[in-house]
Amino acid sequence: MKVHHLLLAILITALWGLNFSIIKLGLATVDPFILAGLRFTLCAVPAILFIPRPDVPWRYLIGYGLIFGTGMWGTVNLAIQLGLSAGIASLVLQFSAFFTLLLGGWVFKERVSRYQLAGIVIALGGLLSIIFVADGSVTLLGLLLVLLGAFAWSITNIIIKKAGTTQVLAFLVWSCAFAPLPLFLLDYLVNGTQGYVMLVNHIDRTTVLSILFQVYPNTLFAYWVWNSLLRQYPVSTVAPLSLLVPIFGMLGSMLMFGEQLSTTKVMAVILILSGLATGLYGARLASVLKRRIRPLA
C-alpha cells in the first residue's frame, strides 16, 4: 500500500474511533434516537438528490437503512447515554466481526475454521473481563445494547454481500433515507414530545458540531474512502487496519472524558483484539509461516 493511502486509512480508523466520544458529546443535549435520526437525515439529504439510486432491489436498501440506523446506531447511542463509556463501546462493537462470521456460515454455508472459533473464545474472555470493570464506565445494559448493535452491524454486512453492489456510496446514501423516520418515531413512542422540546431548547454549537462530524467526516467521507481503498488493494491489506478503531476509541475517551485505563480494561483490549486478529487472520498467518519454515526443514 502506498504511504499516502496507508496514512489515509489510519485517518479513517481514527475518525471512526473518535466518533464514539463525539456521539457522547451530542448526547448531552439530544436523545439517542433523535441524534441518530438527525445523523441519517443529513446523510441522505441533500446527497440523495444528486446521486442516482443504485441498481439493487428496494428490499436491500430498506433493510440496510432500518437495521444500520435503528438496530446499530440507535442502540449504540442509547448504550452510551446509559453509562457505557465511549471507549468500551468502540471495543465491544468489534464483536460484529464474529457475528458476521457465524451469520455468513449460516446464510452462505461458509465453514467456520478452527482459527475463527479460537478467536471467538479468546475475545469472549475479554468480554467477560469487561463485566468486572468497577470504575463506573461499564453498565450491563449498555454492554448488552452494544452487543445488539454489533449483531445488527453483522446483518448489514450480510445485506451488502447479498446485494452485490459496487455503488457503495449510492447504496449508503439511499439506504440512510429509510433510517430517520423509525428513529424519530421510536423516540416519540418512548419519550413523547420531551426529546424534541429538549432539542429545540438546548441545542448548542457542540451538538451541531457533533452531528456534522457524524455525518460528513465519519460516515460519508470515511465509508467512501475506505471502500475506495478496498477496490484498489486486497482486503487482506486494508481490513487489518480496522483493528485500530477501538484503540482510537479508547484514546478519544481518555482525552475527552478522562476515562481511566485500568489493568482490567487493558486485559480486555488485549484479549478482544487478539481474538479478532486470530479469528480474521490466523489461518493466513499460519499459512505464511508454514511456507517459510518448509524450505528450512
pLDDT number for residue 281: 72
Q: pTM score, two decimals?
A: 0.87
First-residue to last-residue Cα distance in the chain: 32
Question: Residue 51 has what DSSP assignment?
Answer: S
Residue 140 corresponds to which cell in the numbers above? 450491563
Q: How far is residue 107 CA from its own chain's centroid?
A: 21
CA distances from 228 to 68, 97, 166, 167, 221 (A): 20, 20, 10, 11, 11
Residue 161 corresponds to which cell in the numbers above? 454481500
Residue 87 corresponds to which cell in the numbers above? 471507549
pLDDT number for residue 237: 66
* Closest C-alpha to 149, from 36, 259, 11: 36
Contact 95, 157 (CB under 8 A): no
pLDDT number for residue 297: 54
CA-CA-CA-CA torsion sign (258, 85, 200, 195): negative
Contact 108, 157 (CB under 8 A): no
How many CA atoms are closer than 13 Å to the CA of 186, on its beta-carbon side? 19
Which positions of the chain have pLDDT values less than 70?
110, 134, 234-240, 280, 288-289, 292-297
pLDDT number for residue 253: 93
Residue 90 corresponds to which cell in the numbers above? 468502540
pLDDT number for residue 115: 81
Contact 257, 28 (CB under 8 A): no
pLDDT number for residue 234: 66
